[in-house]
């Protein structure tokens, strides 16, 4: 009897594994290309960049271990890091709320049931598809140049406009305006959220004498807070990652006077301009941690202002 127990247990174990293999093996085989890509193209580069952030690496010689020197230099001896953080935070603080407010306003107009809604929805969504492209960035640079179309329009009213992109007082704001122009994606999500709000709530509020403004603040906005929360998270992450417009408009320099030196642009300069890959990897990891901290803080505070069905 004792000699048969291991055999029986092994048979049971083998039978269980064979059932698992038969039931799940096809699914895992179909997922295998994704697993290979996830490990080789996502997890692998992430871990490699963390290792490189602790080294001195210039792409030409082998990485040399320096420990936390890159991070110490970042916070204590790099004024351009501080400048790029100021520019990026200014861009995020102003562009995201203004874009969301504009997108919500357009969604409210479209939600009123106007004719040709699919056409307007497509036209308003188009800038989100084109806004981050190189062609649009070049067009934006031409519009806001000293002899661009914007100044030509202002001259009709007798206003002499500055060279918007070469003046440090206005250059960042041209990029903020470009970001707001790309309002189509959050607008579509807002419109979908508005369609989910029960109309009988507005009818009951109207019978109670509530104005449209009061209905917006007491019904629309509270019930739309999950959508606002989602859009705020996505758009903030995208704002931190913004790169192409600043690169094209400033010709990759971040000028004038570092007024368009986005964090991602500075990271690019360190990596591919000066071949300081180790330091650039440290910059990338700090950006990752910064976005992660913002996202975690948003989720922790969402319970105080995001209202779900309950």
Tokens 């206005």 correspond to 170
3-state secondary structure of 123: helix
* Predicted local distance difference test score (pLDDT) of residue 2: 46
pLDDT digits (tens, 9 = 90+) for 165-205: 888 999 999 999 999 998 988 999 999 999 888 888 888 88
CB 225 within 8 A of CB 287: no
Q: What is the DSSP letter of 211?
A: -
Q: Which of 245, 96, 117, 115 is nearest to 185 (CA)?
A: 96
Q: How far is CA 98 from the centre of its chain?
A: 15
What pLDDT band is residue 276 in, cutting at 50, 70 and 90?
very high
Find the range with the poorest average confidence among 12-26, 62-76, 180-194, 269-283.
Answer: 12-26
Tokens 């509530």 correspond to 210
CA pair distance 121, 131, nearest whole angstrom: 16
* Predicted local distance difference test score (pLDDT) of residue 310: 55
pLDDT digits (tens, 9 = 90+) for 107-156: 998 888 767 777 877 777 777 777 667 888 888 888 888 888 888 888 88
In terms of C-beta density within 10 A (0-12 exposed, 13-18 middle, 19 or more buried), how is residue 20 classed?
Answer: exposed
Share of the chain above pLDDT 90, in %: 49
CA pair distance 231, 183, nearest whole angstrom: 11
Q: Which of 171, 113, 122 is nearest to 146 (CA)?
A: 171
Mean pLDDT of the chain: 87
Residue 192 structure tokens = 């979908």
């Amino acid at each position: 009897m004792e000699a048969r127990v291991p055999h029986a247990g092994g048979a049971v174990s083998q039978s269980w594994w064979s059932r698992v293999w038969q039931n799940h093996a096809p699914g895992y085989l179909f997922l295998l290309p994704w697993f290979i890509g996830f490990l080789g193209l996502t997890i692998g580069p992430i871990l490699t960049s963390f290792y490189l952030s602790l080294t001195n690496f210039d792409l030409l010689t082998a990485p040399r271990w320096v420990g936390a020197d890159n991070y110490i230099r970042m916070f204590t001896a790099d004024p351009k890091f501080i400048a790029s953080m100021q520019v990026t935070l200014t861009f995020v603080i102003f562009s995201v709320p203004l874009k969301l407010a504009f997108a919500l306003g357009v969604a409210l107009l479209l939600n009123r049931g106007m004719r040709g809604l699919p056409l307007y929805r497509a036209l308003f969504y188009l800038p989100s598809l084109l806004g981050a492209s190189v062609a649009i960035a070049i067009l934006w640079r031409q519009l806001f140049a000293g002899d661009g179309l914007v100044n030509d329009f202002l001259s009709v009213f007798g206003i002499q406009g500055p060279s918007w992109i070469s003046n440090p007082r206005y250059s960042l704001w041209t990029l903020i305006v470009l970001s707001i122009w790309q309002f189509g994606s959050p607008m579509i999500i807002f419109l979908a959220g508005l369609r989910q709000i029960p109309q009988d709530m507005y009818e009951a509020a109207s019978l109670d004498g509530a104005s449209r403004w009061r209905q917006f603040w007491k019904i629309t906005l509270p019930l739309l807070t999950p959508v606002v929360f989602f859009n705020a998270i996505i758009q903030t992450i995208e704002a931190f990652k913004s790169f192409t417009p600043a690169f094209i408009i400033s010709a990759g320099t971040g000028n004038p006077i570092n007024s368009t030196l986005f964090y991602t642009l500075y990271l690019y300069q360190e990596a591919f301009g000066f071949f300081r890959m180790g330091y650039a990897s440290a910059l990338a990891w700090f950006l990752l941690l910064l976005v992660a901290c913002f996202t975690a803080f948003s989720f922790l505070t969402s319970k105080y202002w995001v209202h779900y069905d309950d």
